[in-house]
Amino acid sequence: MTATPLAVAVASLFSPDQAVWAHLAEHVLPRVLVNTLWLVLAVSALTAVIGASLAWLTAACEFPGRRFFNWALLLPLAVPGYVLAFALAGLFEYTGTVQTALRGAFGDGAGLPGLGARAASILTLTLALFPYVYLIARHAFATQGVRGLEVAQSVGMTPARGFRRVALPMARPWIAAGVALVAMETLADFGTVSVFNYDTFTTAIYQAWFSLFSLDAALQLASVLVLLVAVAVATERRFRGRARFEAVGSGGGRRRLHLAPRAAWLATGYCSLVFLVAFLLPVLQLVAWTVQTFAAEFDPRYLAFAGRSVFLGLAAALVIVTLALWLAYAVRMRPGPLAAGFARAATLGYAIPGAVLAVGFFVAVVGLGDGITAAARALLGPGTAPVVLTGTVVTLLLAYAARFLAVGHGPVESAMQRIRPSLDDAARGMGVAGLRLLGRVHVPILGTGIATAALLVFVDVMKELPITLMTRPFGWDTLSVRVFQLTSEGHWERASVSALSIVLVGLIPVLLLNRRSG
Amino acid sequence: MKFTERLRASACILTGAALAAACGGGEPESAAPADAAGSAPAQADRVVVYSARAEHLIKPIFDRYTEETGVEVAYTTDKEQPLIQRLLAEGENTDADMLLTVDAGNLWYAAEQGVLRPVESQVLEQNIPEHLQDPQNRWFALSVRARTVVYSTERVDPQSLAGYADLADDEWQGRLCLRTSKKVYNQSLVAMLIARHGEERAEEIVRGWVDNLATDVFSNDTKLMEAILAGQCDVGVVNTYYFGRLQKERGTELAMALHWPPGDTGGVHINVSGGGVTKHAPRPEAAVALLEWLSSPAAQEMFAGLNLEFPANPAVAADPLVAAWGEFEASDMPVAQAGELQAAAVKLMDRAGYR
C-alpha cells in the first residue's frame, strides 16, 4: 500500500526532467540540503533531549506538579506544527504582540533580536514534535521494571548515574522510535517551514511541482528523500544490533525517586517553561484571535467539521493499529531480513511530503479503478458504468494508512520487544498459537503501546491536510480543511476558530490515554 | 435489478462508495461518461466544480445560483496542482464539470495539460474582455486582481515612486519589503518584467530588489503591510484586496496607501482568477451555463466583491471601497503570457537570490 506511491515515485527516477534538474542542482539543492540537514539533526537532537528528560522526570521522579505535567506535557501533540508556527510568529515577530508592546513601552529601538528562519523553524518543530518522544519514552521508563534500577542503586550508583547507565540504555529503542518519527515528520514538513520561509528539501519538491510545473522532478526529489530515509533507518537498526530489551521484574508499586528540594524545583521550572512555550502561550494567542473572530466565523457546520475529523481519526486509528499489530506480529514470528525489510518499507510513507504521497496514491487508485472497469466492460459489455474508487472514505483511510503506518508501528513494535520470547513458548506449550496468541496473549500486554499508537494516529489524522484535501469525498470538509481554506487566503485570525477546535478535540484522547496509563 | 447494476452496487458497497458521487443520485444512465452516452441530458440538475478558490469565496455565489436556477452545485476544494493532477488521473471518468482556479499561470498550465475544453459562448465573449481569456477559449477570467506598490504615507513621498523596476534603485536601500518568491503572485509579476524588459534586465531588477530588502521575505501580504505600518520598512508590493481587507478591519485612515505604476513604466501588473469547462465534463452544458452566469453582472458583483477584487466584466462597477483607490492603467500584457514565462521567472528569482 505504501509501496504503490513509492513505486510511482521511484519509477520517475528513470525519466529525469533534465532542464529542471539542472536548475535545481545548481541554484536550489546545495542550499536546501544544508538547510534540511541542519533542521533534521537539530530537531532530532533537541526532541530527544527534551522528550527523554521530561519523560524520565514525570515517569520516575517526584517533584511539585509532577502529576499535572505528566499529562499536560502531552497537550502540544494536539497543536499542528503550522498552527504553532503561526501563533508563535504572531507573538514574537517584529509586528507581533510582544515586540509591539515592547516598542510601545520603551520606544522604537526596543525589541527582541530576530531569530532568523533557521532557528525559528528548529525551535517551532522541536516544540511541536517533542511529545512524540516524550510519550513513547515515558511509556518505556514507566514499564521498564524496577529491578534494573534497584540493582544500580545497590551497587552504589547515584540516581543520575543510574539513569544514564541503566534506565536510558534500556529505553533506547523507545527513544529511537520517537526520534525516528520526529525526523520523518520534520523531513516531510511543509506547513511549518513555509511560515518562516525556511527552504528545505520538501519546499524544493513543492517548488518543482507548483512553480516549475514539473511533477516528474518533484517525484524524483521525493524518491531521493525516501532513499535517504531508508539508509538512515537501516543505520539506526544496525547500531541497535542484537540487543534485547525485555522487561525484568515489571509491574507496579515502584517507588519514585524523590528529588532534593532544589532539583525538584528546577524540574518544576523546566516542565513549566516547556509547557508554557509549547502549549499555553500559543493556545492563548489562538483564544485571543478566536474571541475576535468567533461571531463572524462560527456556524453550525463546525459541528459537522469536528464530527468528520473525529470519525476519520478514530477509523484511521483502528485500521492502522490493526495493520501495525499484524506487521509487528509477523516480524516476531518470522524473524529475518525479509519480514523486517518489508515492515521497514511499509513505514517509509511518513517521510514523504503529504501532497506528493497523495498524488502517488491517487494515481494508483485511479489506475486500479480503471483496471476493474476495463475488466468489467470486457465481461459485461461496453456500457458498464465505470468503477470509481476515489472519493470514498475507504480510499481515504487507505491513504492515511500509507502515510501514518510508521506512527502506529513504532510504539507497537517497541512494546512487542518488551515481551519475552519465553512467554510465546509457554503459550504455545498450552496450545495457544497463531492469531489467538496475538489476541489472547500479546494484545493485553501491549495495552499501553496500542493506546499510544492509536493516540498518535488519531491526532496526526486530525492535523493531516494534503491527503484529506485530495482524497476526501465531496463535501467531507474537516477542521483541518477549514484551516486550509482560511489560511490559504491569509485569514489566520479566522482560522484560529478551527485550529483551536482541533486542539480541543485532540485533548480528549490525550486525557483518556492519561487516565488509562495513570 | 440487472446484473451489471447489481455489480456496480456491490462495488459501491465494497469501496464504501455509498458517499461517492458515482453511486448516489440513482441515475445510472447519466453516470456514464458523456462520450459513451452521446450527449449529457440538457437539463442537468447538478454541476460539479473543482475549485482552488477558497470555499468562503465561492459558497455564497453557488448558493445564489442554486436559489435562482434550482441547479445544485457540488464542489471540492484543493490547491491548483493537485486538482489538475486529479483531473488528469481521472481522465474520462471524472465527475468534474468545471475547474475554478486563481492565477493565470495555473489556468495556462491546466489548458496546456489538456484538462480544459474550448467553449464557444456569445455570452462569455460579450462579458469577458479579450485579454482576460485564453486565446483558444479554454478558460475565462472571472475576477481581476492588481499587484501594486504600497507605501507608508508617513515616510514616503508618493512623487518618488514610479514603476516596479524603480524599487531596485539605491533610494530604497534597506526600505523595501517583499513576500516570498514561492508565491505565484510574485512569479507572475516577474514574468511580466521578463516580457517587458527581457530576461537580462529583469534579473538586474530582481537583484536590485534583493539588495534593497529591509528584512527577510514575508510569508504573506498582510504581514508585509503590518511591517510597513510598524516601521520595519517603507514600501512593498501587494495584491490590492489584502490592502482592502486591512482597510475594512482597521478603517480607511491607515498610514499607508497604494501607488499605481504609470503606463509609461509598463502599467499595473494584473492577474486573474477564472475557470473553464473540463475536457471530460459529464454535464458540459450545465458547466457552460454556470460559467456564463458567473460572468453576468449580478454574479460578477458578488464574485469580485466578496474578496474586494475587480470584476472581470467591465460593465460591472467595483466595490465602493475598491473604487476609492482610483483609476489605474493595467499592463497590456495578455495574462496568459504570465503562465508561459512562469518557470523562467522562478529560475530567474532563484539565480538572483530572491527566496
Q: Give the range with max mean pLDDT: A61-65, A121-125, A358-362, A422-426.
A: A121-125
For residue A248, the model assigns a pLDDT of 57
Give the whole-number percent of chain B exceeding pLDDT 70.
Answer: 88
Instruction: Please tell me the distance in Å from B353's CA to the nearest CA on chain A.
Output: 9
Q: How many residues does chain A have?
A: 518
Beta strands at B176-177 and B98-102: parallel, antiparallel or unpaired: unpaired
**For residues A394-415, average pLDDT:** 90
pTM over 0.90: no
B283: three-class secondary structure by DSSP? coil
Confidence of residue B121 (pLDDT cuts 50, 70, 90): very high
Higher pLDDT, A377 or A383: A377
Question: Distance (Å, rounded) from C-alpha A109 to C-alpha A112?
Answer: 10
Residue A255: exposure state from Cβ atoms within 10 A (0-12, 13-18, ≥19): exposed
DSSP for A348-392, written as a single string: GGGGS-HHHHHHHHHHHHHHHHHHHHHHHHHHH-TTPPPP--TTS
For residue A239, the model assigns a pLDDT of 67
Q: Are B199 and B272 in contact (CB under 8 A)?
A: no
Q: What digits encode the pLDDT tens for the residues A287-303? A: 999 999 999 888 888 99
Q: Examine the pLDDT at A222 and tell me if it is beyond 90.
A: no
For residue A459, the model assigns a pLDDT of 92
Average model confidence (pLDDT) across chain A: 86
Q: Looking at the domain assignment, is residue A406 inside a domain?
A: yes
Contact call for B343 and A476, based on CB within 8 A: no
- A354-380 vs A215-240: helix axis angle to the nearest 10? 110
Instruction: Please tell me the distance in Å from A39's CA to the nearest CA on chain B.
Output: 18
For residue B17, the model assigns a pLDDT of 36
| Interface probe, candidates B90, B180, B256, B349, chain A, greatest A C-beta count within 10 A | B90
When divided into structural domains, chain A yields a total of: 1
Domain range enclosing A504: 3-242+261-517
A361: domain CATH number is 1.10.3720.10
Residue A207: exposure state from Cβ atoms within 10 A (0-12, 13-18, ≥19): buried
Q: Looking at the domain assignment, is residue A157 inside a domain?
A: yes
Average model confidence (pLDDT) across chain B: 88
Give strand pairing partners of B278.
Answer: B116
Contact call for A108 and B231, based on CB within 8 A: yes
Q: Looking at the domain assignment, is residue A249 inside a domain?
A: no
Contact call for B76 and A474, based on CB within 8 A: yes
Contact call for A363 and B350, based on CB within 8 A: no
Measured between beta carbons, the chain B residues lying within 8 angstroms of A387 are 8, 11, 15, 22
Q: What digits encode the pLDDT tens for the residues B133-172? A: 999 999 999 999 999 999 999 999 999 999 999 999 999 9
Measured between beta carbons, the chain B residues lying within 8 angstroms of A474 are 19-21, 48, 74-76
H helix count then E strand count, chain B: 14, 10
Cell of A103: 516598542
What are the residues whose beta carbons fall under 8 Å from the beta carbon of A237, sequence distance 6 or more?
A344
Q: What digits encode the pLDDT tens for the residues B75-93? A: 999 999 999 999 998 998 8
Contact call for A475 and B74, based on CB within 8 A: yes
Hey, what CATH class is B37-144+271-317 in? Answer: alpha beta
Q: Are B152 and B235 in contact (CB under 8 A)?
A: yes
Measured between beta carbons, the chain A residues lying within 8 angstroms of B80 are 210
> B268 φ, ψ to 5°?
-85, 135
Q: Residue A491's closest chain B neighbor by CA?
A: B222
**For residues A336-352, average pLDDT:** 78
Contact call for A197 and B79, based on CB within 8 A: no
Q: Examine the pLDDT at A9 and tell me if it is beyond 70.
A: no
**For residues A171-177, average pLDDT:** 86
Contact call for B86 and A362, based on CB within 8 A: yes
For residue A224, the model assigns a pLDDT of 84
Contact call for A95 and B346, based on CB within 8 A: no
**For residues B25-39, average pLDDT:** 37
Q: Examine the pLDDT at A70 and tell me if it is beyond 70.
A: yes
Question: Distance (Å, rounded) from C-alpha A476 to C-alpha A311?
Answer: 11
Q: Measured between alpha carbons, how far is residue A438 from residues A344, A405, A464, B292 in Å? A: 20, 19, 30, 62
Give the whole-number percent of chain A exceeding pLDDT 90.
Answer: 37
For residue B332, the model assigns a pLDDT of 84
- Among the partner-chain residues A199, A359, A381, the one whose CB lies closest to the CB of B85 is A359
Contact call for B347 and A23, based on CB within 8 A: yes
Q: Are A462 and A505 in contact (CB under 8 A)?
A: yes
- For chain B, the farthest-separated pair of C-alpha atoms sits apart, in whole angstroms, at 78
For residue B29, the model assigns a pLDDT of 34
Q: Give the range with max mean pLDDT: A12-26, A227-241, A404-418, B217-231.
A: B217-231
DSSP A269: H
Q: Residue A205's closest chain B neighbor by CA?
A: B182
B52: three-class secondary structure by DSSP? coil
Instruction: Please tell me the distance in Å from B38's CA to the nearest CA on chain A.
Output: 12
Measured between beta carbons, the chain B residues lying within 8 angstroms of A82 are none
The kind and range of the H/E element at B117 are strand B116-117
Instruction: Please tell me the distance in Å from A268's CA to the nearest CA on chain B.
Output: 36
Cell of A213: 510545473
Instruction: Please tell me the distance in Å from A328's CA to the nearest CA on chain B.
Output: 27
Q: Looking at the domain assignment, is residue A501 inside a domain?
A: yes
Contact call for A474 and B307, based on CB within 8 A: no
Measured between beta carbons, the chain A residues lying within 8 angstroms of B273 are none
Beta strands at B269-278 and B98-102: parallel, antiparallel or unpaired: antiparallel
Q: Examine the pLDDT at B52 and tell me if it is beyond 90.
A: yes
Instruction: Please tell me the distance in Å from B11's CA to the nearest CA on chain A.
Output: 7
Q: Give the range with max mean pLDDT: A4-8, A107-111, A136-140, A249-253.
A: A136-140
Confidence of residue B21 (pLDDT cuts 50, 70, 90): very low
> B238 φ, ψ to 5°?
-140, 165
Cell of A445: 500486554
Contact call for A95 and B216, based on CB within 8 A: no
Measured between beta carbons, the chain A residues lying within 8 angstroms of B210 are none
Q: Examine the pLDDT at B267 and tell me if it is beyond 90.
A: yes
Q: What digits encode the pLDDT tens for the residues A102-123? A: 888 888 778 777 788 999 999 9
For residue A2, the model assigns a pLDDT of 61
**For residues A481-496, average pLDDT:** 88
Measured between beta carbons, the chain B residues lying within 8 angstroms of A198 are none
Q: Residue A398's closest chain B neighbor by CA?
A: B15
B259: three-class secondary structure by DSSP? strand
| Interface probe, candidates A195, A390, A467, A482, chain B, greatest B C-beta count within 10 A | A390
**What number of C-beta contacts closer than 8 Å exist between A and B?**
176
Q: Measured between alpha carbons, how far is residue A181 from residues A53, A81, A177, A193, A457 in Å? A: 18, 14, 6, 17, 12
CA–chain centroid gap for A78, Å, is 11
DSSP B213: B
Q: Where are the beta strands (DSSP E) in B160-288?
A: 176-177, 235-239, 256-259, 269-278
Q: Residue B81's closest chain A neighbor by CA?
A: A210
Question: Distance (Å, rounded) from C-alpha B129 to C-alpha B135?
Answer: 11
Confidence of residue A435 (pLDDT cuts 50, 70, 90): confident
Contact call for A380 and B219, based on CB within 8 A: no
Cell of B130: 479579450
- Among the partner-chain residues B19, B77, B91, the one whose CB lies closest to the CB of A393 is B19
For residue B230, the model assigns a pLDDT of 93
Question: Distance (Å, rounded) from C-alpha A403 to C-alpha A470?
Answer: 14
Measured between beta carbons, the chain B residues lying within 8 angstroms of A489 are 54, 56-57, 307
ipTM, interface predicted TM-score of the complex: 0.87
Q: Examine the pLDDT at B9 and tell me if it is beyond 60.
A: no
Contact call for A489 and B342, based on CB within 8 A: no
For residue B20, the model assigns a pLDDT of 37
Q: Examine the pLDDT at B34 and tell me if it is beyond 60.
A: no
Q: Are A20 and A208 in contact (CB under 8 A)?
A: yes
Beta strands at B98-102 and B46-51: parallel, antiparallel or unpaired: parallel
Q: Looking at the domain assignment, is residue A247 inside a domain?
A: no
| Torsion sign (Cα): B303, B307, B312, B314 | positive
Q: Residue B37's closest chain A neighbor by CA?
A: A383
**For residues B53-81, average pLDDT:** 95
- Cell 518499507 belongs to A345
Question: Distance (Å, rounded) from C-alpha A357 to C-alpha A401?
Answer: 11
- Buried-state track A482-502, b at ≥16 Cβ within 10 A, e below 16: bbbbbbbbbbbbbbbbbbbbb
Cell of A192: 511549518
- Among the partner-chain residues A384, A466, A489, the one whose CB lies closest to the CB of B4 is A384
For residue B33, the model assigns a pLDDT of 39
Q: How many residues does chain B have?
A: 355
Domain ranges of chain B: 37-144+271-317, 145-270+321-351
Question: Distance (Å, rounded) from C-alpha B183 to C-alpha A436?
Answer: 55
- For chain A, the farthest-separated pair of C-alpha atoms sits apart, in whole angstroms, at 82
| Interface probe, candidates B79, B181, B199, B256, chain A, greatest A C-beta count within 10 A | B79
Confidence of residue B181 (pLDDT cuts 50, 70, 90): very high
Cell of A199: 527552504
**For residues B311-334, average pLDDT:** 94
Confidence of residue B2 (pLDDT cuts 50, 70, 90): very low
Contact call for A197 and B182, based on CB within 8 A: yes
Q: Examine the pLDDT at A339 and tell me if it is beyond 80.
A: no
CATH number of the domain located at residue range(s) B145-270+321-351 in this protein: 3.40.190.10
Q: Nearest to residue B280, comparing CAs of A8, A325, A250, A366?
A: A366
Q: Examine the pLDDT at A96 and tell me if it is beyond 80.
A: yes
Confidence of residue B346 (pLDDT cuts 50, 70, 90): very high
- A281-297 vs A81-92: helix axis angle to the nearest 10? 100
Beta strands at B72-77 and B98-102: parallel, antiparallel or unpaired: unpaired
Q: Residue A377's closest chain B neighbor by CA?
A: B4
Instruction: Please tell me the distance in Å from A488's CA to the nearest CA on chain B.
Output: 7
Measured between beta carbons, the chain B residues lying within 8 angstroms of A369 are 93
Contact call for B82 and A466, based on CB within 8 A: yes
Cell of A423: 512467554
Amino acid letter for position B282:
P
| Torsion sign (Cα): A82, A87, A88, A94 | positive
